[in-house]
Each structure stands twice: as C-alpha cells, then as structure tokens.
A and B are shown apart, each in its own frame.
Chain A
Amino acid sequence: MTDVQLVELTVNSERHELAIPPRRTLADVLRHDLGLTGTHVGCEHGICGACTVLVDGRPARACLLFAAQVENAEIRTVESLAGPDGELSDLQRCFGEHHGLQCGFCTPGFLMLAEGFLAEEPGATREEIREVVASNLCRCTGYQTVVDAVDDCASRRRASLQAALDTAGSTR
C-alpha cells in the first residue's frame, strides 16, 4: 500500500487534518475525503475545468493538484458560495435567472472560475468574460447564457457598488 502522509488543509475556512497518500489529488480529497462533492471531475487532465476551485483566491484545476501541494493555501469550493442559511449568492442566482445551466455538472467549475475572475477584474467587459468562460467546457448550454450570467452579475455588482458610493457621498 502506498505511504500515507499527514496533510492539513483549509477548505472554506475550515481546517482539516488528513492522513492520505501523497498521490491523492485535491479533487479526490475534496470530494471523497471531505465529502464536498460539489466540485466535479470531468477529465482529470486539466482541460474541462469542472473541478475548478479557488486556491488563494485564484481559479485552479483541482484535478491537477495533489492535496499535499496546497497545505498552506486557502481553498474555496462551490459549497462556500451560498450563505450559511443556504441562500444562493448573486452569482449563483444570475446563473439560474439566465438559464446558464442545464445538467449542472460543469456549473460549479464555471461558478468558481467566475467568482475568482470577477474578484480580480470587476470591470470586465463581456468580451473579456467570454474569453475567461472559454477556459472551461460545457456540453449543454452553448455558453451564451453562461456569459450572460457572469456579465449580468458583474454589472449588478458594479451598480450596487456605485449606489453604495453615491449613498456614502450624499450622506457626507
């Protein structure tokens, strides 16, 4: 049997101690050791992006990482997006409203991709969003509604930020 290694992981702000073989991928650890099955595995060679999670805020393919590699990182999975009461985030709601998902298998990957991207590029144009959406594969939607969802979420976030700024300005 392969050797086992002690690994400490921080996932969705929770600390986990695991005894796992060094060859175990982050995707398998998330799904099968921690029971966070929202992260999906579609190809195991880094192309489809269904397993996209955030590693220190940046989108990464969980199938291409060994869990042991990311001990000191903050990992975020799709399970972190909804509020503690289960209320969906603005990004998740936008996917629903735009019919940006059908079978839903690729969706967690697109959500985490968009979550990471919009945090870094809140002012992204629709074309820039399309380019980032092209990182992952979807076989159901034809992508248009995924782009629509992310674009709409970005616009709404900008609008609400602007509204907050305006309010702050007017109360000063």
Chain B
Amino acid sequence: MREPGFRTDGTWVGADVPRREDPRLLAGRGRFVDDITLPRMLHAAFVRSTEAHALLTSVDLSEVRGVPGVVAAFDAAGLGLADITALLDRPAEEFTPTSMPVLARDKVRYVGEPVAVVLATDPYAAEDGVEAAVVDYEPLDPVVTETAALAAAGAPVHDEAPGNVLVDVSLFATEGIDAVFDAAHTVVSVEARTGRQNALPLETRGVVADWDDRDEQLLVRTCTQVPHQVRTVLARCAGLDEKQVRVTVPDMGGGFGQKCVVGREEIAAAAAARRLRRPVKWIEDRREALTASFLAREQHYTARAAFDADGAILALEADVVCDMGAYSCYPFTAGIEPLMASAEMPGVYRVPAYRVRGRAVTTNKAPTAPYRGVSRPQYVMVMERLMERAARSLGLDALDVRRRNLITEFPYRGINNITYDPGSYLESLDLCERVLRDEGWHRHTEPGRVVGIGYSCFSERTGYGSGAFAQRKMQVVPGFDLSQITMDLDGTVSVTTGTLSHGQSHETTFAQIVADRLGVPYDKVKIVQGDTDRITYGWGSFASRSVTIGGSAASAAAVKLGDQLRALAAHLAGVDVDTCELDGRGGVRAADRTLPFTELAEVAYLRSHLLPKDVGPGLTATASFDVGGDGTFSNATHGCVVALDPGTGGVEILRYVCVEDCGVAIHPRVVEGQARGGIAQGIAGALFEEVLYDEAGQPLAPSFMEYKVPTAAEIPDVRIEHLETPCAFTANGAKGAGEGGTIGAPAAVLNAVNDALRGTGVELDSTPIPRHAIFAALAPHEEAS
C-alpha cells in the first residue's frame, strides 16, 4: 500500500490507498446521527396506523400529553404542513399525480403510516406517549396485492386513481413486431415475480433538527443520500425559504437507495423542532424500518421473446407491473421502477424489435423507493431466463445463445433509443466461463447433492445525466453535479461535491482524483460533502453517479484551479502561461524555476498587490459536469455454482465469480467492495429476503426473526476479475460501480438453481426462490434413484 505524500510513481488514481474514512470509523469515533446530542433535546416517536386502509375518524392525543416526560404531541392538523408531491411531466393517461401527507390526514394507506408525532424528554417516555394515543378508524377493504389493485373492486387507495394505477406507459412498439412473433421459429415466455425487499441500511433512518435563532435557520442533521432535496421539500412543506433550512449529513450507516428519497418523519421532526424551539431527535427503530420505511422490488413480469433457429433474438415483449405501495416517492415518483424496466430491458442484447408496457400500481403497503439496481435485477433476471429457455428449446448451449446476441460493436444504438458506450460484454462472459472451467466447476459433483452452474450477463447504465432523466419525463431532473475547489494559504485543498458518500469512500476516491489533477499530496485534499450551506446544489448519491458525475466535476474544478495557478506563476515569473505547467509535486514549472503552490497562495491571499490587475485575490474555482448523451454503461458477467439439498430444498452457493468492467477503477479495492456487497444483496433477494403481508395488509416480517438477512454463513467468497474499458465521456474514465453486484446476482443464482434442476422438468422463474419448490422438484427424483 502506498503511503501518503507526493506521488512518485504513476498516479493516485488506480492505487489502493488507505481509506481516509477508516481511522475514525475503526476507533468508534465516527459521528452518526444518533451520536449527536444537543442541550434540551427532545425525542420524537410516531403514532402509526394499525390499519392498512381506513378512514381516520379521530386522533385523540389528550392522554398522550399527560404521560410523564411528554412535552408535546401533534397530528396532521397540529403541524399544519403541506404535502410531499412528486410529479412526472406525462399526460394524464400515463401518470396520475398523488401526494403524500407528512402525517396522515383523513385516511391511512398502510400499516405503519405516521399519524401523529410525540415529543418527550427521553425516547422511552416518547414511546410511552405513543401508547397512550387513541386513534379511531373506519376500516376499508385493503388492496394488498397487485392483482387486487388492478381488479379495482373496492375503495381505491387514492381517490385520484380509481383503477389504482399511478403510471401506465406503453413504449417502443416496433412496427411489425406482431408479424415477427407470428413468423418466428421459436417463441419462449417467462412469467416472473420478484419479492418485496427492504434495502436495509444497517443504520436506520434518523434526524436531529433544531432551530437556530442566530442563523434564523432550521438546522437538520439527517442521514439522507439527497440533502438538497430534503432542504427543498422541508422548505416547501413548512413554508420556509430555502435559506432558512440547512441540511447536513453526518456519517451514514448505508443507504442503498432507501435514503435517496425524502422521508416524512424527517420533515415532521424538523417541523416540530421549529415549532417547539427545541432540538428534536428521531431515530427509527428496526420495527419501523422493516414495516414503515421505503421498500422496493415487488414486480411481476409477463415476457416473451422470439428467436430464429440459430438462437438469434428477433423480438422482445414485456408487460411489467410494479407494486409501488401506498405513495409516490420524492423526487422519483412511483414511475421509478416501471420506467427503468421499460427503458432498459433489452440490456446487453441486440434486440431488433421491442414492445413494453410498464405500470406502477398502488397498494396498501409501505411505499417504495429506488433500491440499489432499481428494476435491473428483475429485468436482467427475466432476460437471462428467456435466453436459457430459448437455448433449451432450441437444443443450443445457453452461453452460445448469449454470445450470438451480445452487443459487440460500439457505440451501439439500441431499439430502446439508448446509445451504449463501449463495454466488454463478450469478453466478460468468456473470462467468467474460463475461470469457472479452469477451477473445475463444470465437472464438480457433490455427494448427496445436486450441482448447477448459472451465469448472468448485464450492463448497468450509470452516471445518468440530466438528458437521461429528462427522457423519463421526471419533473425534477437530477443530472449535473457541481464542485468548488479552494486552495488555502498553505497549499492544501478542499473540494466540495454534491454527491454524498454513505459507505462508498468518497473522502478517499475524490481526494485521489483531485490529487492527480493538481499534483498535490492525497492527504492534503479535503472533501466537503453533505452540507447544503457549503454546497451550492447537488443531487446526492444514487444510480452509481458519484464518481462518474461528481468525480468529473471535481476533476474539472481542479483543472480550472490548476490553470489559475499556472497563470499566476506565469505573471510572477514574467513568462508566457503556455510555457508553465504543474510539476505534479505541488508547484508550477515556469521557465527555469519552480514556484511552489505555497508561494503562489501567499501572493493570492497575503500579498495581493503582486497579483495581475485583472485577477482578484484568493484561489478558488467552480466547475460542473453533466454526462452528455445517454450516460455510460458499466458491465459484468456473473457465474455461480450451487448445490441443492434434496432433503431440505436448501441452496448452498459453492462458488461465485464476478468479471466486472466499470471503466477506470479509481480505487480497485473499493470497487471490489462495492461488487461483493452488491452481490450479497442480490443473493439475499434471490434466496432469503421478502417483505410479506397477510390478506389484511398486516406486515408479516416486523423483525430480523422473520426478515432473513443473510450472514457470513450464507454469503460465499466472491472471486472478482477486472476488465477495463475506459469511458470517453467522463473526466477520469470511470463508469460507476455501485449497483452492478446487486443487478447480476439474482439471475446467476436462479439460473444455477435451474441448471441443477435440469432433468426434473421443473423451471423456476421467481425470487426469492422457494425452498419448497426445490424440495418438491427433487423429491420424486430422489425416490426414483
């Protein structure tokens, strides 16, 4: 490992430098939101709906206010906040606007929906207060499944959407596609369901807010991936100027998308702090996190694909229904999952004809947010099942069918009107297969168990620019990122980013990028993130955008500052600026001498009379970046070996190989960490985790006893191989690496299970893969032998 200092060989980018985040986190000296305690701080707890669907007839908090320690309690009328509303710029037949009240008003739409907030001097008393609330309901028939939602038999979840459909888009519909299906040699179909999941950051959501009279500002410390969006929504809900709200983000214990939408509780707690003029803390407990936070992933696919006799895909058609729960999330709306699936389902394959219908239905379940991968784990799984099924039907090797269809010439303009930048789709498949073959897994057997191998090929659009989101017709269009860089008197540098690390090591990787651009030591670059007063505007971290977009902005700002330093050196040395260059060691070479940054900074700050007439004091530069065109595509192939136990239906993963290509890896070890962690979450979705509800809409997995998060006993070691196709559109050649692991894993695991079941006549297409289905498939087989 390279020690901090000036670079002597190569560059900081690409080196596994020690993480800047580690010392404090390892020592237990990080600062997470629940670590913050303020004088006179109150603790919030929420009265939550016990009904899935009901009219709210009365909320009586009088007993609550008498509980020892309770200071105040508010219902919706008491706080008087405006609703949270997220919109798409789509016509009425495609999108039905709904809004989410901060506290339920008139009606509740899921078990766990916040109805009132109780403020007390300690969290125990706040929970005592919650128990004293008396809420009366007039129950309505709950809409619990997507089938019930589409049947629209009873009271709708939202009156604005009588059919319970919030988004309904039909896209692409290639001319003549029906004739292609009619004439095709082979048509295969897949019907798949994927279970509802919880992104499950280990740190639950939380906030500490207080009104500062000196700054005339509501200071909100909250664990969010999107601080500026929280500021905007809070300002709107509470009728404040944006300047009257400052959102800062302490250390965060993961997010995975659940924290990239604005939560109702953070708004309510902040509003209570302002009302009471006392600090308020709210820390979500695990039961709330499992039942009443934001969920994801519950989708239903009906898909078919036409192939010729040689295995070339001719057409793809899909109907995708996403169960988005009770509310549209801000800023993405309920369109997040169906729009992603519809836009990108053809994936890594050359699909000549495509038709898709994507719908978001609303049900009486906790609302959804983007979760790592957003729809891609699902549609990749369906595409990979179609490939496998076609291979079986045609009597071809499934990898050869993939090879026949993989995009190999770039840039490739897809049927979905997206241009793919160069990747290593075929190369990653070849390498993944070779690794598993060389390790002997294609011949592997296990006594008493059935072994199977599965693969998945996919790409992952990352670094969505504003153009890509505008194409989705989001009214709030994320995309750009801004960076401001400042060099201080001593030659050290700080750089702001609107992206926000919550485990992804931005303090490290952004410092590597800037250190290279300026030629300053890595440990002399400080990254400033998560503070709406210090960062002009930003979109936070999601969709693997941080290094791609934020890193490019930081890079561009550093280049601008470098130009300022060169110009200043040229002036002081009396030479032409074109002859001056950064020396990579903290100085500028100007003709026959070198001016250290410290000397230039001294002029910029302390001896400004020496500056050129048209140059102001200080050393600071701002730059923005927005990925042009359709963004950039990371890609990977995953291969996985499973052993099935006929006695229990259990699945053990014996080997997992990931060949990934995220362009230039700024910090390879961090990239590997992202891949491994993502794969673990993908395996979790394939085999273990599901948020289930009973027919009354009561959540059945309110604790870790029921919601089975895999441990080190279930998650295998993962071998990772890197390919590198540098990206031409980003400043550093990086393409993004946050989500890929999660995207590829369910398909690889499902295909491996199906490979093991080959010969039983059973094919499984849904996740989490039911153990009983494996048991049933293997049981007669077992008896016969």
Contact = CB atoms under 8 A, between A and B. Distances in A.
Nearest to A144: B717
Interface residues of B, number: 60
A104 B25 contact: yes
A99 interface: yes
Interface residues of A, number: 61
Contacts of A79: 27-29
Interface in A68-103: 77-79, 81-82, 86, 88, 92-93, 95-97, 99, 101-103
A40 B253 contact: yes
Contacts of B204: 42
Interface in A91-119: 92-93, 95-97, 99, 101-108, 111
A31 B285 CA distance: 16
A155 interface: no
B27 A38 contact: yes
Interface string B710-723: 01111101100000
A77 B285 contact: no
Contacts of B363: none
Interface in B356-383: none
Contacts of B505: 102
A45 interface: yes
Q: In terms of DSSP, what is the predominant structure of the interface of chain B? A: loop
B709 interface: yes
A11 interface: no
Interface string A121-142: 0000000001101111111111
Given A102-B503, A142-B718, A143-B711, A88 B201 contact: no
Nearest to A37: B35
A137 B676 contact: no
A96 B22 CA distance: 6
Given A38-B27, A137-B202, A103 B124 contact: no
Contact of B718 (A43, A104, A144): A144
Given A45-B703, A145-B676, A140 B503 contact: yes
B30 A104 contact: yes
B254 A108 contact: no
Contacts of A55: none
Contacts of B704: 43, 45, 47-48, 137
A99 B677 contact: no
A144 B503 CA distance: 16
A8 interface: no
Contacts of B673: 99, 102, 140-141, 145
Determine which residue in B28, B35, B670 has the highest number of CB atoms from chain A within 10 A of its CB, and name it. Answer: B28
Contacts of B502: 103
Contacts of A77: 28
Contacts of B717: 144, 147
Determine which residue in A37, A88, A133, A136 has the highest number of CB atoms from chain B within 10 A of its CB, and name it. Answer: A37
B25 A107 contact: yes
A82 B285 CA distance: 30
A131 B713 contact: yes
B88 interface: no
Contacts of B750: none
Contacts of B711: 133-137, 143
Contacts of A130: 712-713
A142 B679 contact: yes
Interface in B20-41: 21-23, 25-32, 34-35, 37
Determine which residue in B25, B125, B678 has the highest number of CB atoms from chain A within 10 A of its CB, and name it. Answer: B25
Contacts of A153: none
Interface in B496-514: 502-505
Contact of B26 (A44, A107, A134, A140): A107
Given A44-B285, A48-B704, A145-B673, A105 B29 contact: no
A68 to B, nearest CB: 14
Given A47-B704, A102-B254, 16 more contacts: A1-B125, A40-B32, A45-B286, A88-B26, A101-B26, A104-B253, A105-B202, A105-B253, A139-B201, A139-B202, A139-B681, A140-B202, A142-B715, A142-B718, A145-B673, A145-B676
